[in-house]
Amino acid sequence: MFLARVAAIFAVATAAQAQPAPGITASTIVFGQSAPLSGANAELGNDIRNGALAYFRKVNETGGLQGRRLELVTLDDANQVPRAEANTRELVEQKQVFALFGYASATLSRPALPIVEKQGVPFLAPFTGADPMRVFNPRVYNVRASYADELEKIVEHFAPLGVQRFSIVYYDDVVGRENLSAVERALKKRSLQPVSIAAFKDRANPDIESGVAAIATGSPDVVILTTLYKASADFVKSARRSGMAAQIASNSFPGASPLAKELGKEGAGVIVATVVPPPTKRSLPIVHEYQAAIEKYIGKKDFSFTSLESYIGAKIAVQALRRAGPNPTRASFMRELDALRDFDAGGYSVSFSPTNHNGSSFVELTVIGKDLKFGY
């Protein structure tokens, strides 16, 4: 009887170990993503999706990972928070994806956190540098620098030139107010403060003209934008029409490439903070690799900072999965992410630890030039 009980217990334990992790079958590993594939922020969402899929395709064409194909299930949230939350529930609770990847903003990412924590789901490479997403969470891994790093870099660039009159445009919500605070901290270090601010209460329908008027009251030398690419482009165009001569600079939130496309010829001279190397810098191995993969996937040479950032995030996910062995679990995946130290993706390095999930502080400034080209 005793031996029978032992055998039964052993059989149950063995069966439990044999159960595949959520999102993993004998032939696939499935990631989940909520992103704006339609609406005003669709270009950003599609770029994020394409960057990840380009890398997954590259891996799949060489046999996949331990014989498994990598898949990405993307649900359209149209940049709407309720839809992003509903998408997360569907991805985790119904589709049972292995991990979440590449949500397009902190606003869309934050509603996922309670679900992530309750269900034990890894969440890699949200497309945001917002402070609320960078507070340590054992399941969230940020690949890129923070908005605070970017905004400090912008102020640091101008202050030595004698510029003292800075203004900021932001959304009047949790994330937007953190951006305002980051600019205020950077200015305070230099005994300065904003000369004017514009706070948009409605992300979907910002009052651009009122924002331009509010900023103009301070006669700024530099206006710092922290808004989505459509709102940022509309602000720049309206400001130029009004005769405002201030230099315009933006954090990476709108995406340098989508912003440049939205601005067209009117974008020349606008400065944008970027958190990955230029997607045209072929001297870097990661850029050379990315260009070949993204062109093969989408069928044209449509390179962007956004899809490069997503490509790098996907590469990091696969690196951790590869190290997790032939039968990865969510726990082993996160353990291997925690163990990544100075991982060189090809000219872009990321480091995580069990107590630090903010993998990079890399920031450069780029200038939008003519014909949608960038200067560095």
One-character DSSP codes across 113-155: HHHHHHHT--EE--S---GGGTS--TTEEB-S--HHHHHHHHH
- Cα dihedral value 47, 51, 52, 54, nearest 10: 130
Residue 372: what pLDDT? 65
Closest CA relative to residue 303, chosen from 269, 263, 261, 272: 261
Q: CA distances (Å), 72 to each of 43, 69, 125, in order?
A: 18, 10, 14
Q: Return all residues near 14 (Cβ < 8 A) that are at least 6 apart.
A: none
The pLDDT of residue 9 is above 80? no
Alpha-helical regions (H) of 243-343: 256-263, 285-298, 305-323, 330-338
24 and 129 housed in the same domain: yes
Give residue-wise pLDDT tens across range 217-254.
999 999 999 999 999 999 999 999 999 999 999 999 99
- CB contact at 8 A, 144 and 364: no
- CB contact at 8 A, 109 and 126: yes
The pLDDT of residue 15 is above 90? no
Residue finishing a domain among 232, 251, 270: 251
Domain that holds residue 93: 20-144+283-361
Residue 16: what pLDDT? 39
Taking residues 168-181, report their average pLDDT: 94
Residue 17: what pLDDT? 44
Residue 166: what pLDDT? 98
Residue 19: what pLDDT? 56
- CB contact at 8 A, 277 and 376: no
Q: For residue 374, name the pLDDT band (cuts at 50, 70, 90).
A: confident
Give residue-wise pLDDT tens across range 57-89.
999 999 999 899 999 999 999 999 999 999 999
Copy the structure tokens of residue 89: 């529930």
Q: For residue 18, name the pLDDT band (cuts at 50, 70, 90).
A: very low
Specify the CATH number for the domain of residue 172. 3.40.50.2300
Taking residues 126-143, report their average pLDDT: 95
Look up the pTM and report it: 0.89
- Other CB atoms within 10 Å distance of the CB of residue 124: 25
Residue 6: what pLDDT? 39
Residue 373: what pLDDT? 74
Instruction: Say if 3 falls within a structural domain.
Output: no
Indicate the helix (H) or strand (E) that contains 366: strand 364-368
Closest CA relative to residue 57, chosen from 286, 280, 290, 349: 290
112 and 28 housed in the same domain: yes
Residue 140: what pLDDT? 98
Query: How does the average pLDDT of the chain come out, rounded?
Result: 93
Q: How many domains does the chain have?
A: 2
Instruction: Say if 272 falls within a structural domain.
Output: no
Residue 13: what pLDDT? 39
56 and 86 housed in the same domain: yes
Alpha-carbon distance of 67 to 343, in angstroms, equals 24
136 and 24 housed in the same domain: yes
